[in-house]
Copies of this chain bind each other. A is one copy, B any other.
Amino acid sequence: MMTTHIRTTQTAEHIGQRVKLKGWLHARRRMGGVTFLILRDGWGTIQAVCASGEAIEALERAGAGVESVVEVEGTPAAQSRAPGGVELIEPALTVISPVREAAPVTINKPTIQAGQAAILDHAPLTLRHPARRAIFRMSAEAMAGFRATLGAQGFTEIQSPKIVASATESGANVFGIDYFGTRAYLAQSPQFYKQIMVGVFERVFEVGPVFRAEPHATPRHINEYVSLDIEMGFIENHFSVMAVLRGVLAGMLGRLEETCGAELALSGAIVPQVPERIPHVHFQEAKALLFEATGEDTREEPDLSPGEERWLGQWAQRQWGSDFLFVTGYPMVKRPFYTHPEAGDSRWSNSFDLLFRGMELVTGGQRLHLFESYVEALKRAGMPQAPFEHYLEAFRFGMPPHGGFAIGLERFLMQLTGESNLRATTLFPRDLHRLSP
């Protein structure tokens, strides 16, 4: 009879039965004449107890150290002192891929004792560390929660092109490509395409890479990241979009709680409550609050500094007990040309940022929808109409009031886990100084 191949996380369901597991030799240690092996597979780890030297003979013969790929037959037994309350006894090992080299970074201690550069340089190895791996399992589940929430509300997924003929919002901060002798660019965002697709499906979303050629090195910026985008038609104003965003966040976090108990614990994440109604403050009011609290007058500045965002995050926590805060109405001068102005006062916009624990996580808003408004807006911005003709065709032929938002996936994970650098929650980060692995 063939022994069943099970996952480490299924061990407790097979107490007393002979089973087979496959994975990596995560750790090996000797205590009181007994050798403990920790086997890691794609889902978790399990301890195997080798009471005799015979069990580890296969390792010795192959000179197989940690990270060797092995097959272990053994019998699950309840053991309160073992991690997870279960261990494998009477194990028989087979070596599949022996590793004889010492790892440049140790990945079988609770935390990786290495600097950020070494951790990223050796990503193929360090991503195997249970705590680092946990972050990217949560990343997958966050995407799944995003899609499921939107799918249930009639949103259709799109995949827009990443090679584009002209910069999305302005000529700045785009990567250029040689496209068969023509100059082309990497998309800064799916903005134009998701708007065009509102004309087709009313409600669309996209999960995909965006590229920003911003030449600054900060802990909260990288040059390629995953953007969770939506765009929806027939809205009242930006508050309609904010209501959908509230549900999306609850859906993503709910999914994590449902599927990622172990990963949340391993990564030290604290799952926030999403208030039934996320508090919101107008940009003008936010500036007034900041002035009052700090005495520093930045009311004429058209944006919030990272420090101001942090202060507002703390304020929302004090005032409303909320990890989230919407800042609405950002000055039109700081928003892209397609932004819809505030009814009655066109200095301000129907746009918002969502701060999560004092950091901008989402940007969104209502867009212009009438063709004439676009013609005017481009003129006002001093931008030519010609490069936008294809985009403008959507508005020329009928578009409803619409809006949307974009969540930065890596930032979501960074704020959730309390990491201080975006590179820790990016699978293979790209920045000014890093292009590999």
- Residues of chain A whose beta carbon lies under 8 Å from any beta carbon of chain B: 5, 7, 22-25, 41-43, 67-69, 96-99, 101, 103, 121-125, 127-128, 133, 136-137, 139-140, 143-144, 147, 151, 154, 156-166, 175-180, 182, 184, 186, 193, 196-197, 199-203, 207-209, 211, 213, 215, 223-224, 226, 233-234, 369-370, 390-391, 393-394, 396-401, 409, 427-430, 432, 435-437
In whole angstroms, how far apart are the Cα atoms of A164 and B435 in the complex? 6
The 3 closest A-B pairs by CB, nearest first: A42-B202, A390-B437, A124-B394
Contact B162 A393 (CB under 8 A): no
Q: Contact at B401–A96, with CB atoms within 8 Å?
A: yes
Cα(A213)–Cα(B144), bound, Å: 32
B398 and A160 contacting across the interface, CB-CB below 8 Å: no
Closest to A143 in B: B157
Residue of B7, B127, B157, B234 near A200 (CB, 8 A) is B127
Selected A-B contacts with CB under 8 Å, 17 pairs = A24-B199, A25-B398, A43-B202, A97-B369, A97-B400, A98-B398, A133-B200, A133-B201, A136-B158, A159-B209, A160-B428, A161-B209, A161-B427, A161-B429, A163-B435, A184-B435, A390-B437
Q: Is the CB of A182 within 8 A of B69?
A: no
Q: How distant is the Cα of A69 from the Cα of B394 in the complex, in angstroms?
A: 12
Residue contact B436 to A165, C-beta cutoff 8 Å: yes
Whether the pair B393, A226 counts as a contact (CB closer than 8 A) is: no
User: Are A397 and B125 in contact, with the CB atoms below 8 A?
Assistant: yes
**A427 CA to B194 CA, complexed, in Å:** 11
With A208-B208, A393-B437 as known contacts, state yes or no: A140 contacts B157, CB within 8 Å: yes
Contacts of A143 in B (CB 8 A): 157, 159
Report B-chain residues with C-beta under 8 Å of the C-beta of A151.
Answer: 144
Chain B residue, CB-CB nearest to A95: B398
- Cβ–Cβ contact A180 & B140, under 8 A: no
A164 cross-chain contacts in B, Cβ below 8 A: 435-436
From A24, A68, A122, A164, residue with most partner B Cβ within 10 Å: A24
Query: CA–CA, A181 to B394, complex, Å?
Result: 37
Q: Which of B103, B157, B430 contacts A144 (CB 8 A)?
A: B157
B140 and A158 form a contact (CB under 8 A): yes
Taking the closest CB of chain B, its distance from the CB of A329, in whole angstroms, is 24
Report the Cα distance A432→B171, complex, angstroms.
23
Q: Are B398 and A199 within 8 A (Cβ)?
A: no
